Amino acid sequence: MEDVLELYAEPQDPRRPKVCFDESPQQLIAETRLPLPAQPGQTERYDYEYQRKGTRNVFLFFDFEDGWRHAAVTERRTSLDFAQQMKWLVDERYPQADRIRVVLDNLSTHKLAALYEAFAPAEARRIARKLEFHYTPKHGSWLNMAELELSVFDRQCWDRRIADADTLQRETQALEAERNAAHATVHWRFTSQHARARMHRVYPSIAA
C-alpha cells in the first residue's frame, strides 16, 4: 500500500511520469423495441426486453498529474492485449520518458512476462526497460486512481444500453476528449501517514 501512496506523493517528473491503469468489461445490449422518447415531465422509457450483443473490454490509462486519460476499446483483455497497451504507452504516449511508473492491480495478465508472449525477446526487453510496475495490494484496488476515472465513465457514458462496439468506441472517445480538454483530475489526499493511523489493523503487530 505504502509503495503506491509514496509514489503518488512524489513531485511530478516529466521524465518519469506516473500512470494509473485499469480495465472494465462492457456488455453490448440492443433494444428489441424502439424506446419511447422523453416528453415534458417524463424521461425516455425503455422496454424491459433487450438483446445481448456480446461484450467488449475497455483499457484505461490515467495520468492524474496532467489530467489526461486514454480509453481503448478492445475485443478481449488477454495478456497479448495488455502487452499491446503497454507498447502504446511507451512508444506513443511517452516516447521521451526515461521510466514510466504504472499503478495497476494484480490481475494475472498484468505482468512484464506478457511482453515476451507478444513480442520478440529484444522488443519485449526494450519495452520492459521503460516500465516500472507498482501493484496495489490484494483487496486494495481502490488505491488505483484509474478506478475513480472508470466510475466517471460508468456514470456519464456506459450506464445505458449500448448496442454495438462502434457506438461504444465513439461515445467513449467523446467523453475522453471532453475530460482531457478540461484537464479533469483527482486531488489525492490519502497518504502513508493516514494509512498507518486509520488502518493500523492491516499492519503486522510487533511483540514486545
Predicted local confidence at residue 32, as pLDDT: 58
- Closest by alpha carbon to 19, among 93, 128, 127, 129? 93
Mean of pLDDT over the chain: 90
CA–CA separation, 108 vs 106, rounded Å? 6
Q: Could you tell me if residue 189 is inside a domain?
A: yes
Q: Could you tell me if residue 40 is inside a domain?
A: no
Predicted local confidence at residue 176, as pLDDT: 98
**What does each C-alpha distance from 16 to 95, 98, 135 come to in angstroms?**
11, 6, 17
Q: What is the pLDDT of residues 74-122, one digit of tens each?
A: 999 999 999 999 999 999 999 999 999 999 999 999 999 999 999 999 9
- Domain count for the chain, please give it: 1
Q: Could you tell me if residue 117 is inside a domain?
A: yes
Q: Could you tell me if residue 42 is inside a domain?
A: no
Predicted local confidence at residue 38, as pLDDT: 73
Instruction: State the cell numbers at 196.
Output: 498507518
Q: Rounded to the nearest 10 degrees, what angle do helices 121-128 and 79-88 cross at?
A: 60
CA–CA separation, 92 vs 106, rounded Å? 25
- Closest by alpha carbon to 21, among 62, 64, 79? 62
Which amino acid does the sequence have at 37? P
By residue range, what is the domain housing residue 90? 2-34+47-202
Q: What is the pLDDT of residues 147-199, one digit of tens each?
A: 999 999 999 999 888 889 999 999 999 999 999 999 999 999 888 887 777 76
Q: Residue 131: which H helix or E strand, with range?
A: strand 131-135
Q: Could you tell me if residue 207 is inside a domain?
A: no
Highest mean pLDDT, choosing among 34-43, 48-57, 62-71: 62-71
At 6, which CATH number?
Answer: 3.30.420.10
**What does each C-alpha distance from 26 to 6, 12, 53, 109, 178 come to in angstroms?**
32, 33, 11, 18, 21
Q: Could you tell me if residue 208 is inside a domain?
A: no
Q: Could you tell me if residue 197 is inside a domain?
A: yes
Instruction: State the cell numbers at 206.
Output: 510487533
Q: Could you tell me if residue 25 is inside a domain?
A: yes
